[in-house]
Structure 1
Amino acid sequence: QDMRRLVHDLLPPEVCSLLNPAAIYANNEISLRDVEVYGFDYDYTLAQYADALHPEIFSAARDILIEHYKSLLMKIDAFHYVQLGTAYRGLQPVPDEEGPSIKQFMDIFSLPEMALLSCVVDYFLGHSLEFDQAHLYKDVTDAIRDVHVKGLMYQWIEQDMEKYILRGDETFAVLNRLVAHGKQLFLITNSPFSFVDKGMRHMVGPDWRQLFDVVIVQADKPSFFTDRRKPFRKLDEKGSLQWDRITRLEKGKIYRQ
Protein backbone atom coordinates (compact mmCIF):
# COMPACT_ATOMS: atom_id res chain seq x y z
CA GLN A 1 0.00 0.00 0.00
CA ASP A 2 2.84 2.39 0.81
CA MET A 3 4.44 1.75 -2.57
CA ARG A 4 1.15 2.25 -4.39
CA ARG A 5 0.59 5.53 -2.55
CA LEU A 6 4.13 6.69 -3.39
CA VAL A 7 3.65 5.95 -7.09
CA HIS A 8 0.37 7.86 -7.19
CA ASP A 9 1.93 10.81 -5.37
CA LEU A 10 4.81 11.07 -7.85
CA LEU A 11 3.08 10.43 -11.17
CA PRO A 12 -0.05 11.73 -12.92
CA PRO A 13 -3.16 9.49 -12.65
CA GLU A 14 -3.15 8.64 -16.36
CA VAL A 15 0.41 7.36 -16.05
CA CYS A 16 -0.25 5.43 -12.85
CA SER A 17 -2.86 3.31 -14.59
CA LEU A 18 -0.15 2.05 -16.94
CA LEU A 19 2.34 1.07 -14.23
CA ASN A 20 2.56 -1.94 -11.98
CA PRO A 21 3.21 -0.58 -8.45
CA ALA A 22 4.80 -3.90 -7.44
CA ALA A 23 7.40 -3.72 -10.22
CA ILE A 24 10.93 -2.34 -9.95
CA TYR A 25 11.97 0.48 -12.27
CA ALA A 26 15.47 1.81 -12.92
CA ASN A 27 16.25 5.49 -13.07
CA ASN A 28 19.22 5.92 -15.40
CA GLU A 29 19.16 9.69 -15.47
CA ILE A 30 22.54 11.25 -14.74
CA SER A 31 24.05 14.67 -15.19
CA LEU A 32 27.10 14.32 -17.44
CA ARG A 33 28.22 17.72 -16.19
CA ASP A 34 29.17 16.02 -12.92
CA VAL A 35 31.29 13.33 -14.62
CA GLU A 36 34.95 14.37 -14.76
CA VAL A 37 36.51 11.26 -16.35
CA TYR A 38 35.23 9.47 -19.47
CA GLY A 39 36.47 6.07 -20.59
CA PHE A 40 36.12 4.61 -24.08
CA ASP A 41 36.58 1.32 -25.84
CA TYR A 42 37.66 1.49 -29.48
CA ASP A 43 35.77 -1.12 -31.52
CA TYR A 44 32.06 -0.33 -31.81
CA THR A 45 32.49 2.63 -29.45
CA LEU A 46 34.85 5.23 -30.88
CA ALA A 47 34.91 3.32 -34.17
CA GLN A 48 31.41 2.45 -35.39
CA TYR A 49 31.53 -0.28 -38.03
CA ALA A 50 29.23 -0.77 -40.99
CA ASP A 51 27.00 -3.84 -41.23
CA ALA A 52 29.10 -4.92 -44.21
CA LEU A 53 31.71 -6.16 -41.72
CA HIS A 54 29.44 -8.87 -40.29
CA PRO A 55 29.26 -11.05 -43.45
CA GLU A 56 33.05 -10.86 -43.73
CA ILE A 57 33.49 -12.19 -40.19
CA PHE A 58 30.79 -14.82 -40.74
CA SER A 59 32.34 -16.13 -43.96
CA ALA A 60 35.88 -16.21 -42.59
CA ALA A 61 34.81 -17.97 -39.39
CA ARG A 62 32.76 -20.47 -41.41
CA ASP A 63 35.81 -21.30 -43.52
CA ILE A 64 37.97 -21.68 -40.40
CA LEU A 65 35.32 -23.88 -38.79
CA ILE A 66 35.18 -26.19 -41.81
CA GLU A 67 38.95 -26.32 -42.28
CA HIS A 68 40.24 -26.63 -38.73
CA TYR A 69 37.50 -27.83 -36.40
CA LYS A 70 36.43 -31.18 -37.79
CA SER A 71 36.81 -33.10 -34.51
CA LEU A 72 34.80 -32.67 -31.32
CA LEU A 73 37.31 -32.73 -28.49
CA MET A 74 36.56 -30.26 -25.71
CA LYS A 75 33.74 -29.46 -23.31
CA ILE A 76 32.71 -26.07 -21.96
CA ASP A 77 30.59 -24.95 -19.04
CA ALA A 78 29.45 -21.71 -17.42
CA PHE A 79 26.40 -21.19 -19.64
CA HIS A 80 24.21 -18.23 -18.82
CA TYR A 81 20.43 -18.45 -18.58
CA VAL A 82 18.43 -16.05 -20.74
CA GLN A 83 14.78 -15.13 -21.03
CA LEU A 84 12.47 -17.85 -22.28
CA GLY A 85 10.82 -17.26 -25.60
CA THR A 86 14.02 -15.96 -27.17
CA ALA A 87 15.80 -19.29 -27.68
CA TYR A 88 16.34 -20.97 -31.05
CA ARG A 89 17.70 -24.37 -32.03
CA GLY A 90 19.35 -23.64 -35.32
CA LEU A 91 16.78 -21.43 -37.01
CA GLN A 92 13.77 -22.91 -35.20
CA PRO A 93 12.31 -21.50 -31.95
CA VAL A 94 12.61 -23.65 -28.82
CA PRO A 95 9.43 -24.19 -26.75
CA ASP A 96 9.59 -22.55 -23.34
CA GLU A 97 8.82 -25.80 -21.54
CA GLU A 98 12.19 -27.21 -22.58
CA GLY A 99 13.86 -24.66 -20.33
CA PRO A 100 17.11 -24.51 -22.32
CA SER A 101 20.42 -23.38 -20.88
CA ILE A 102 22.15 -21.30 -23.53
CA LYS A 103 24.98 -18.81 -23.93
CA GLN A 104 24.10 -15.14 -23.61
CA PHE A 105 25.56 -12.92 -26.33
CA MET A 106 26.00 -9.34 -25.20
CA ASP A 107 27.50 -7.12 -27.90
CA ILE A 108 27.49 -6.29 -31.60
CA PHE A 109 30.61 -8.41 -32.11
CA SER A 110 28.40 -11.41 -31.35
CA LEU A 111 26.14 -11.00 -34.40
CA PRO A 112 28.31 -13.03 -36.83
CA GLU A 113 28.86 -15.65 -34.13
CA MET A 114 25.13 -16.00 -33.50
CA ALA A 115 24.43 -16.28 -37.22
CA LEU A 116 27.13 -18.92 -37.76
CA LEU A 117 26.06 -20.93 -34.73
CA SER A 118 22.43 -20.88 -35.85
CA CYS A 119 23.29 -21.93 -39.41
CA VAL A 120 25.54 -24.80 -38.33
CA VAL A 121 22.96 -26.11 -35.85
CA ASP A 122 20.25 -25.83 -38.50
CA TYR A 123 22.44 -27.77 -40.95
CA PHE A 124 23.05 -30.57 -38.45
CA LEU A 125 19.37 -30.81 -37.59
CA GLY A 126 18.31 -30.68 -41.22
CA HIS A 127 20.64 -33.56 -42.08
CA SER A 128 19.85 -35.58 -38.93
CA LEU A 129 23.45 -35.39 -37.71
CA GLU A 130 24.10 -36.02 -34.03
CA PHE A 131 26.18 -33.41 -32.22
CA ASP A 132 27.00 -32.15 -28.75
CA GLN A 133 25.88 -28.55 -28.26
CA ALA A 134 28.80 -27.73 -25.98
CA HIS A 135 31.35 -29.03 -28.48
CA LEU A 136 29.71 -27.15 -31.33
CA TYR A 137 29.60 -23.91 -29.37
CA LYS A 138 33.29 -24.29 -28.49
CA ASP A 139 34.28 -24.84 -32.13
CA VAL A 140 32.22 -21.92 -33.45
CA THR A 141 33.58 -19.63 -30.73
CA ASP A 142 37.14 -20.67 -31.56
CA ALA A 143 36.53 -20.02 -35.26
CA ILE A 144 35.23 -16.51 -34.53
CA ARG A 145 38.16 -15.90 -32.19
CA ASP A 146 40.61 -16.91 -34.92
CA VAL A 147 39.19 -14.22 -37.21
CA HIS A 148 40.31 -11.66 -34.63
CA VAL A 149 43.52 -13.37 -33.48
CA LYS A 150 44.76 -13.79 -37.05
CA GLY A 151 44.08 -10.12 -37.73
CA LEU A 152 41.63 -10.73 -40.58
CA MET A 153 39.13 -8.16 -39.34
CA TYR A 154 41.87 -5.58 -38.90
CA GLN A 155 43.06 -6.16 -42.47
CA TRP A 156 39.60 -5.68 -43.97
CA ILE A 157 38.98 -2.44 -42.11
CA GLU A 158 42.43 -0.99 -42.78
CA GLN A 159 42.09 -1.68 -46.51
CA ASP A 160 38.85 0.30 -46.81
CA MET A 161 38.14 2.56 -43.85
CA GLU A 162 35.61 4.61 -45.80
CA LYS A 163 33.54 1.46 -46.26
CA TYR A 164 33.73 0.04 -42.76
CA ILE A 165 34.09 2.99 -40.35
CA LEU A 166 30.97 5.10 -39.86
CA ARG A 167 30.41 8.57 -38.40
CA GLY A 168 34.06 9.38 -37.74
CA ASP A 169 33.21 13.08 -37.72
CA GLU A 170 30.84 12.49 -34.81
CA THR A 171 33.57 10.74 -32.84
CA PHE A 172 35.86 13.70 -33.48
CA ALA A 173 33.20 16.17 -32.36
CA VAL A 174 32.35 14.30 -29.14
CA LEU A 175 35.98 13.92 -28.05
CA ASN A 176 36.79 17.55 -28.74
CA ARG A 177 33.70 18.73 -26.91
CA LEU A 178 34.61 16.73 -23.81
CA VAL A 179 38.19 18.00 -23.81
CA ALA A 180 37.00 21.57 -24.37
CA HIS A 181 34.93 21.25 -21.19
CA GLY A 182 37.93 20.12 -19.16
CA LYS A 183 37.07 16.42 -19.01
CA GLN A 184 39.72 13.71 -18.73
CA LEU A 185 39.56 10.87 -21.26
CA PHE A 186 41.03 7.39 -21.38
CA LEU A 187 40.96 4.64 -23.99
CA ILE A 188 41.24 0.94 -23.14
CA THR A 189 40.95 -1.49 -26.04
CA ASN A 190 41.83 -5.08 -26.84
CA SER A 191 42.85 -4.08 -30.36
CA PRO A 192 46.54 -3.57 -31.31
CA PHE A 193 48.11 -0.13 -31.51
CA SER A 194 48.73 -0.10 -35.28
CA PHE A 195 45.06 -0.79 -35.97
CA VAL A 196 43.77 1.76 -33.46
CA ASP A 197 46.26 4.38 -34.63
CA LYS A 198 45.18 4.09 -38.26
CA GLY A 199 41.51 4.25 -37.35
CA MET A 200 41.89 7.22 -35.02
CA ARG A 201 44.00 9.09 -37.57
CA HIS A 202 41.22 8.47 -40.08
CA MET A 203 38.51 9.76 -37.74
CA VAL A 204 40.25 12.36 -35.57
CA GLY A 205 43.61 13.21 -37.12
CA PRO A 206 47.32 12.61 -36.43
CA ASP A 207 47.21 14.27 -32.99
CA TRP A 208 44.45 12.04 -31.63
CA ARG A 209 46.56 10.84 -28.67
CA GLN A 210 46.64 14.35 -27.23
CA LEU A 211 42.92 14.04 -26.55
CA PHE A 212 43.43 11.16 -24.11
CA ASP A 213 45.07 11.23 -20.71
CA VAL A 214 45.68 7.46 -20.85
CA VAL A 215 45.72 5.06 -23.83
CA ILE A 216 46.00 1.30 -23.28
CA VAL A 217 45.95 -1.20 -26.17
CA GLN A 218 45.84 -5.01 -26.28
CA ALA A 219 44.33 -4.82 -22.82
CA ASP A 220 42.99 -8.39 -22.79
CA LYS A 221 39.68 -7.35 -21.28
CA PRO A 222 37.88 -8.42 -19.18
CA SER A 223 40.80 -9.95 -17.26
CA PHE A 224 42.55 -6.57 -17.52
CA PHE A 225 40.27 -5.23 -14.79
CA THR A 226 41.02 -8.02 -12.31
CA ASP A 227 44.53 -9.32 -13.05
CA ARG A 228 47.07 -7.10 -11.29
CA ARG A 229 50.06 -9.35 -11.84
CA LYS A 230 51.07 -7.95 -15.24
CA PRO A 231 52.97 -4.63 -15.19
CA PHE A 232 52.33 -1.89 -17.73
CA ARG A 233 54.73 -1.56 -20.64
CA LYS A 234 55.20 1.39 -22.97
CA LEU A 235 55.10 1.20 -26.77
CA ASP A 236 57.13 3.35 -29.13
CA GLU A 237 55.78 5.17 -32.19
CA LYS A 238 55.87 1.94 -34.21
CA GLY A 239 54.05 -0.07 -31.58
CA SER A 240 57.11 -1.97 -30.34
CA LEU A 241 57.40 -2.77 -26.64
CA GLN A 242 59.93 -0.79 -24.61
CA TRP A 243 61.93 -1.88 -21.56
CA ASP A 244 61.30 1.21 -19.42
CA ARG A 245 59.98 0.66 -15.93
CA ILE A 246 56.55 2.28 -15.71
CA THR A 247 55.75 4.15 -12.50
CA ARG A 248 52.98 6.34 -13.90
CA LEU A 249 50.92 6.62 -17.07
CA GLU A 250 51.71 9.71 -19.14
CA LYS A 251 49.46 11.60 -21.52
CA GLY A 252 50.19 11.02 -25.19
CA LYS A 253 51.95 7.70 -24.57
CA ILE A 254 50.71 4.22 -25.47
CA TYR A 255 50.70 1.37 -22.96
CA ARG A 256 49.81 -2.28 -22.76
CA GLN A 257 50.18 -5.02 -20.17
Structure 2
Amino acid sequence: MKKLVYDLLSPGVCNLLNPTTIYANNEISLGDIEIYVFDCNYMLHSNLLHSMIFNTSRDILIEQFKYPEGLGKYDYIPEFAIHAFHSDVRKSLLMKTDAFDYAQLGTVYRGLEPVPDGEVIELYSGVQHIPLCQMSGFYGKVPHYKQFMDIFSLPEMTLLSSVIDYFITHGIEFNQVHLYKDISDAIRDVYVKGVMHKGLKKIWNRIFCTGMKSMLC
Protein backbone atom coordinates (compact mmCIF):
# COMPACT_ATOMS: atom_id res chain seq x y z
CA MET A 1 0.00 0.00 0.00
CA LYS A 2 2.85 2.38 0.82
CA LYS A 3 4.42 1.67 -2.56
CA LEU A 4 1.08 2.16 -4.31
CA VAL A 5 0.51 5.53 -2.65
CA TYR A 6 4.09 6.55 -3.34
CA ASP A 7 3.67 5.73 -7.04
CA LEU A 8 0.36 7.61 -7.32
CA LEU A 9 1.47 10.81 -5.62
CA SER A 10 3.68 13.30 -7.33
CA PRO A 11 7.26 13.61 -6.00
CA GLY A 12 7.60 15.75 -2.91
CA VAL A 13 3.94 15.56 -1.86
CA CYS A 14 4.43 12.78 0.67
CA ASN A 15 7.81 11.33 1.55
CA LEU A 16 6.89 7.82 2.75
CA LEU A 17 10.53 6.87 3.09
CA ASN A 18 11.15 9.53 5.73
CA PRO A 19 10.54 8.05 9.24
CA THR A 20 10.06 11.54 10.70
CA THR A 21 7.13 12.37 8.43
CA ILE A 22 3.86 13.05 10.24
CA TYR A 23 0.57 11.98 8.64
CA ALA A 24 -2.62 13.71 9.78
CA ASN A 25 -6.20 12.50 9.60
CA ASN A 26 -7.72 14.70 6.89
CA GLU A 27 -11.21 14.28 8.36
CA ILE A 28 -10.28 16.37 11.39
CA SER A 29 -10.24 20.13 11.21
CA LEU A 30 -7.57 21.32 13.63
CA GLY A 31 -9.30 24.67 13.66
CA ASP A 32 -12.17 23.08 15.59
CA ILE A 33 -9.87 21.68 18.28
CA GLU A 34 -9.71 23.75 21.45
CA ILE A 35 -7.61 21.50 23.69
CA TYR A 36 -4.53 19.43 22.85
CA VAL A 37 -3.44 16.64 25.22
CA PHE A 38 -0.06 14.98 25.01
CA ASP A 39 0.39 11.45 26.32
CA CYS A 40 3.83 11.63 27.90
CA ASN A 41 3.87 8.21 29.58
CA TYR A 42 6.48 6.65 27.34
CA MET A 43 8.48 9.83 27.05
CA LEU A 44 8.61 10.29 30.81
CA HIS A 45 9.21 6.63 31.57
CA SER A 46 12.89 7.02 30.86
CA ASN A 47 15.78 5.17 32.44
CA LEU A 48 16.02 8.04 34.91
CA LEU A 49 12.48 7.46 36.17
CA HIS A 50 12.90 3.67 36.11
CA SER A 51 16.02 4.03 38.23
CA MET A 52 14.10 6.15 40.71
CA ILE A 53 11.30 3.56 40.96
CA PHE A 54 13.84 0.75 41.33
CA ASN A 55 15.91 2.53 43.97
CA THR A 56 12.90 3.64 46.00
CA SER A 57 11.34 0.17 45.97
CA ARG A 58 14.69 -1.38 46.88
CA ASP A 59 15.01 1.00 49.84
CA ILE A 60 11.45 0.16 50.94
CA LEU A 61 12.42 -3.51 51.03
CA ILE A 62 15.46 -2.71 53.17
CA GLU A 63 13.96 -0.12 55.52
CA GLN A 64 10.37 -1.30 55.92
CA PHE A 65 10.45 -5.00 55.05
CA LYS A 66 13.85 -5.51 56.78
CA TYR A 67 15.56 -7.10 53.79
CA PRO A 68 19.40 -7.32 53.88
CA GLU A 69 21.18 -3.99 53.54
CA GLY A 70 23.46 -5.61 50.96
CA LEU A 71 20.68 -5.15 48.41
CA GLY A 72 21.64 -1.48 48.37
CA LYS A 73 24.56 -2.28 46.04
CA TYR A 74 22.17 -3.20 43.22
CA ASP A 75 21.26 -0.54 40.69
CA TYR A 76 18.74 -0.50 37.87
CA ILE A 77 19.95 -2.29 34.71
CA PRO A 78 18.25 -0.65 31.70
CA GLU A 79 19.11 -3.39 29.23
CA PHE A 80 18.19 -6.36 31.44
CA ALA A 81 14.45 -6.80 30.86
CA ILE A 82 11.87 -6.05 28.18
CA HIS A 83 8.10 -5.94 28.45
CA ALA A 84 5.89 -9.03 27.94
CA PHE A 85 8.08 -11.29 30.09
CA HIS A 86 6.53 -13.89 32.40
CA SER A 87 7.63 -14.68 35.92
CA ASP A 88 7.19 -18.23 37.21
CA VAL A 89 6.48 -17.17 40.77
CA ARG A 90 6.93 -20.63 42.30
CA LYS A 91 10.26 -21.30 40.58
CA SER A 92 11.59 -17.72 40.69
CA LEU A 93 12.19 -17.70 36.95
CA LEU A 94 11.80 -14.90 34.45
CA MET A 95 11.15 -15.92 30.86
CA LYS A 96 9.81 -15.02 27.45
CA THR A 97 6.93 -17.08 26.07
CA ASP A 98 5.76 -17.48 22.48
CA ALA A 99 2.26 -17.06 21.03
CA PHE A 100 1.36 -20.60 22.14
CA ASP A 101 2.43 -20.05 25.77
CA TYR A 102 5.60 -22.10 25.54
CA ALA A 103 8.64 -20.91 27.44
CA GLN A 104 11.31 -19.96 24.93
CA LEU A 105 14.62 -21.65 25.57
CA GLY A 106 17.47 -19.18 25.86
CA THR A 107 15.30 -16.53 27.49
CA VAL A 108 14.91 -18.05 30.97
CA TYR A 109 16.66 -16.29 33.88
CA ARG A 110 16.97 -17.08 37.56
CA GLY A 111 18.03 -13.90 39.24
CA LEU A 112 20.42 -12.14 36.89
CA GLU A 113 21.86 -15.32 35.41
CA PRO A 114 20.53 -17.31 32.42
CA VAL A 115 19.28 -20.84 33.08
CA PRO A 116 20.75 -23.54 30.79
CA ASP A 117 18.25 -25.04 28.34
CA GLY A 118 18.78 -28.53 29.77
CA GLU A 119 17.81 -27.37 33.24
CA VAL A 120 14.70 -25.62 31.89
CA ILE A 121 13.62 -28.81 30.14
CA GLU A 122 14.17 -30.77 33.35
CA LEU A 123 12.25 -28.23 35.46
CA TYR A 124 9.24 -28.44 33.15
CA SER A 125 9.46 -32.18 32.50
CA GLY A 126 10.41 -31.67 28.89
CA VAL A 127 7.33 -29.59 28.08
CA GLN A 128 7.70 -25.86 28.62
CA HIS A 129 4.01 -25.13 28.03
CA ILE A 130 2.27 -22.83 30.53
CA PRO A 131 -1.41 -23.77 31.04
CA LEU A 132 -3.84 -20.87 30.89
CA CYS A 133 -5.28 -21.81 34.28
CA GLN A 134 -1.87 -21.09 35.82
CA MET A 135 -1.53 -17.69 34.14
CA SER A 136 -4.80 -16.15 35.28
CA GLY A 137 -6.77 -15.71 38.47
CA PHE A 138 -10.00 -16.09 36.50
CA TYR A 139 -10.24 -19.74 37.51
CA GLY A 140 -10.37 -18.95 41.22
CA LYS A 141 -6.74 -19.75 41.98
CA VAL A 142 -3.76 -17.52 42.57
CA PRO A 143 -1.86 -17.48 39.26
CA HIS A 144 1.50 -19.21 39.23
CA TYR A 145 2.74 -16.88 36.52
CA LYS A 146 2.82 -13.11 36.38
CA GLN A 147 2.90 -11.42 32.99
CA PHE A 148 4.73 -8.10 32.83
CA MET A 149 2.95 -6.48 29.93
CA ASP A 150 4.27 -2.96 29.54
CA ILE A 151 7.15 -0.56 30.00
CA PHE A 152 5.93 0.27 33.50
CA SER A 153 6.98 -3.24 34.61
CA LEU A 154 10.67 -2.93 33.81
CA PRO A 155 11.80 -1.71 37.27
CA GLU A 156 9.75 -4.45 38.98
CA MET A 157 11.29 -7.23 36.86
CA THR A 158 14.79 -5.91 37.46
CA LEU A 159 14.23 -5.56 41.21
CA LEU A 160 12.75 -9.05 41.46
CA SER A 161 15.72 -10.55 39.63
CA SER A 162 18.22 -8.52 41.66
CA VAL A 163 16.80 -9.66 45.01
CA ILE A 164 16.76 -13.29 43.86
CA ASP A 165 20.36 -12.89 42.68
CA TYR A 166 21.39 -11.57 46.10
CA PHE A 167 19.72 -14.41 47.98
CA ILE A 168 21.17 -17.09 45.71
CA THR A 169 24.66 -15.54 45.78
CA HIS A 170 24.65 -15.40 49.59
CA GLY A 171 23.02 -18.80 50.10
CA ILE A 172 19.92 -17.34 51.75
CA GLU A 173 16.80 -19.50 51.68
CA PHE A 174 13.57 -17.70 50.86
CA ASN A 175 9.91 -18.32 50.18
CA GLN A 176 9.49 -17.60 46.50
CA VAL A 177 5.81 -16.62 46.66
CA HIS A 178 6.33 -14.31 49.64
CA LEU A 179 9.35 -12.72 47.97
CA TYR A 180 7.31 -11.95 44.86
CA LYS A 181 4.53 -10.42 46.99
CA ASP A 182 6.93 -8.24 48.98
CA ILE A 183 8.45 -6.81 45.81
CA SER A 184 5.02 -6.22 44.27
CA ASP A 185 3.95 -4.39 47.44
CA ALA A 186 7.10 -2.25 47.45
CA ILE A 187 6.56 -1.28 43.82
CA ARG A 188 2.89 -0.54 44.56
CA ASP A 189 3.85 1.79 47.41
CA VAL A 190 5.99 3.87 45.05
CA TYR A 191 2.93 4.50 42.88
CA VAL A 192 0.27 4.74 45.60
CA LYS A 193 2.17 7.03 47.98
CA GLY A 194 3.00 9.59 45.33
CA VAL A 195 6.74 8.96 45.05
CA MET A 196 6.53 8.27 41.33
CA HIS A 197 4.43 11.36 40.69
CA LYS A 198 7.00 13.56 42.41
CA GLY A 199 9.66 11.97 40.22
CA LEU A 200 7.55 12.57 37.12
CA LYS A 201 7.15 16.21 38.08
CA LYS A 202 10.89 16.67 38.42
CA ILE A 203 11.54 15.00 35.05
CA TRP A 204 8.78 16.98 33.36
CA ASN A 205 10.15 20.24 34.76
CA ARG A 206 13.59 19.30 33.50
CA ILE A 207 12.25 18.51 30.02
CA PHE A 208 10.11 21.66 29.94
CA CYS A 209 12.92 23.92 31.12
CA THR A 210 15.35 22.40 28.61
CA GLY A 211 12.81 22.92 25.83
CA MET A 212 12.18 26.51 26.83
CA LYS A 213 15.91 27.25 26.91
CA SER A 214 16.25 25.78 23.41
CA MET A 215 13.38 27.94 22.15
CA LEU A 216 14.84 31.08 23.72
CA CYS A 217 18.21 30.34 22.19
The TM-score with structure 2 as length reference comes to 0.48
What is the TM-score when the length of structure 1 is the normalising length?
0.41
**Structure with the higher fraction of residues in helix conformation:** 2
Structure with the larger RCO, 1 or 2 (CA within 8 Å, 6+ apart) = 2
